[in-house]
Structure formats: structure tokens, C-alpha cells
Amino acid sequence: MFIILSLLAAALYLVSACLPLTQRTASAVATAVAWLLHGSALAADMVGSDSLRIGFASVLSATLWISVAAYWLENRNLTLDGLRVLVLPSAALAALLPMAFPGVLVPLQGQTALFPWHVAIAILAYSTLTIAAFHAVLMALQESRLHSPHDSLRSAGWLNAAIDRLPALLTMERLLFRLISFGFILLTLTVLSGIVFSEYLFGKPIKWDHKTVFTLLSWVLFGALLAGRFWRGWRGKLALRFTLTGFATLLLAYVGTRFVLEVVLHRGIA
């Protein structure tokens, strides 16, 4: 059942991504159905009666699942069809990844009650900052289009049309910083709950491994960006660079580390 649901979700995501920009209602319906199928597949794969399946593929899939929801809700209020061609193909790929890389089952018996909450908050943080990264890419394309309308994206007329339908760049920027602010709060909660979780498991507040270092570095980058925005009015290309660098660092924190452990080193450690 999990495989069938994942395949159907991926197919519908791709159909929605390929629909013409004029068919917004059809795209919204297809995306909603794909999202429900994707969520059902995640529930069937990740959640057991007394265990959770954790791995880089399942976490990435859950992250894109929530990112699709964020895109869908944003697109109801603002015309953000440009995000569709970035988010939905990524979600389609993410929906299929757990079939190839199943991860490991982590028993909940004997775990602190904080563990499922830590996982949920971390995925929410990843998801919010993922959609912020997609948003930043779209803003970079929008800015490039404004400065070089005849040279940028010459071979991608459909993407040019999507960018032309976006809200004003200042509106996009305000939305980006709202996403980053919310994601930073969630990331802070992830770090704090991780400290408690580490204290419970290892008897020390922080376990200094690659995941911890990259997570804290990402937290510092996003915190510096928000501080720079508040105190110095950071915006434009500087803000976009900070956003994408912070996201890339966060991606390395768990997904990248887990990919190396599971795929390269074939180690099944949660």
C-alpha cells in the first residue's frame, strides 16, 4: 500500500507541476490530492504502533510534504505559481525516495516522551526553511529577470511567465522573512529539545557530532540574518545568500549526515 500511495502521489505532483499556469484550480486540486496520498504513504511507512521509521529519505519526504502544504496555502492568497515548478517535482522525487532508502526502525519503548516531539518539531523546522529556500531561489530569478529581462531564462518561457505573475519583489521579501522568522523559532526549539534528548540518552547536553555542528551553524546563520535584517536592514542578494547558505548547512545537518551513514557507510544508526 505504501508503494502504491507513493507512486500515485509522485505522479500527481508531476501532473500538477506540468499544468498550464492558467489552470490554477486544476493544479490546486491535483496538488491537494497528491498531498493527501503522500501523507498517507508517510503515515503507513513511518509510524508504527511502538516505533518510528527514521532515515534521510523519510525525513526528506516528510519535509517536502509539509513544504507542499505551505506552498498550497501561500498560493491561495498570493500568486506563487513559480514555486509550483520548484516544489512539486522535488516533492515527487522525495515521495519515491523511501522506497529505495527505507531507513531504520527506532523503537519508542524506553525512549523519552520528548523524542517524537523532537522529531516532529525538527521536520517542521526543516520544512519551513525548505520553502524559504525555494522562495529565495524564486526571488533570485525574479531579481535577475528585472535587471536583465531579455537575457535571463531565455529558453524557459514557461518559467518566465510564472515569474512575471509573482507579487512585487518587496512583497516576496516580506514573506521570505516571515518564513525565516518562523523557521528560526522552530529550529531553536529543535536545538533545545535536542539538548534535553541528548542529556537523557548520553548524559551530556550536547553530543558534538556532524549533525550537531551543522545544525548549530545553520542556527547561527539564520539568527545572524534576522539580526542583520533588524539592526542593519539587510535585504536583496545578501539576504538570499544567507538564506541559501543556512538552508544548505541545515540540509547537511541531518539529511546529508544520514545519507552518508545509510548509503555510503551502510550504518543503521538513528
Quote helix, strand, coil % in the chain, to nearest 5.
80, 5, 20
- Is residue 270 assigned to a domain? no
Q: pLDDT band at 157, cuts 50/70/90?
A: low
- Portion of the chain with pLDDT greater than 90, in percent: 26
- Is residue 269 assigned to a domain? no
Q: Which amino acid would we find at residue 124?
A: L
d(CA 125, CA 26): 29
174: its cell numbers: 516580506
d(CA 208, CA 204): 10
pLDDT at 55 over 80: no
227: its cell numbers: 539580526
The chain-wide mean pLDDT, for the chain, equals: 81
- For residue 228, what is the enclosing H or E element? helix 210-232
19: its cell numbers: 499544468
**What is the average per-residue pLDDT within 141-147?**
76
Q: Which amino acid would we find at residue 235?
A: R
- For residue 224, what is the enclosing H or E element? helix 210-232
d(CA 30, CA 255): 28
- Number of domains the chain is built from: 1
- Is residue 155 assigned to a domain? yes
- The partner residues of 104 in beta bridges, in order of sequence, read 54
Q: Which amino acid would we find at residue 114?
A: L
Q: pTM of the prediction?
A: 0.79
* 150 or 52, greater pLDDT: 52
pLDDT at 140 over 90: no
- Is residue 152 assigned to a domain? yes
pLDDT for res 24: 83
pLDDT for res 253: 78
**What is the average per-residue pLDDT within 81-99?**
88
pLDDT for res 155: 46
**What is the average per-residue pLDDT within 33-41?**
95
**DSSP tag of 52:** E
**What is the average per-residue pLDDT within 229-244?**
87
pLDDT at 220 over 90: yes
Q: Residue 220: helix, strand or coil by DSSP?
A: helix
- The partner residues of 105 in beta bridges, in order of sequence, read 53
pLDDT for res 270: 47
Q: pLDDT band at 185, cuts 50/70/90?
A: very high
pLDDT at 225 over 90: yes
Task: Identify whether the C-beta of residue 227 lies closer than 8 Å to the C-beta of residue 248.
Answer: no
pLDDT for res 39: 93
pLDDT at 152 over 60: no
Q: pLDDT band at 113, cuts 50/70/90?
A: low
203: its cell numbers: 548524559
**What is the average per-residue pLDDT within 5-24?**
90
Q: Is the dihedral of CA 10, 15, 129, 250 positive or negative?
A: positive
- Write the DSSP string, 66-135: HHHHHHHHHHHHS--HHHHHHHHHHHHHHHHHHHH---EEEE-TTS-THHHHHHHHHHHHHHHHHHHHHH
pLDDT at 32 over 80: yes
Domain limits for position 121: 2-264
**What is the average per-residue pLDDT within 125-142?**
87
- Portion of the chain with pLDDT greater than 70, in percent: 81
Residues 6+ apart with CB under 8 A from 25: none
**What is the average per-residue pLDDT within 142-168?**
66
pLDDT for res 181: 93
Task: Identify whether the C-beta of residue 72 lies closer than 8 Å to the C-beta of residue 28.
Answer: yes
- For residue 170, what is the enclosing H or E element? helix 169-202
6: its cell numbers: 507513493
Comparing 101-110, 133-142, 255-264, the range with the smallest average pLDDT is 255-264
**What is the average per-residue pLDDT within 72-82?**
79
d(CA 58, CA 64): 10
pLDDT for res 83: 80
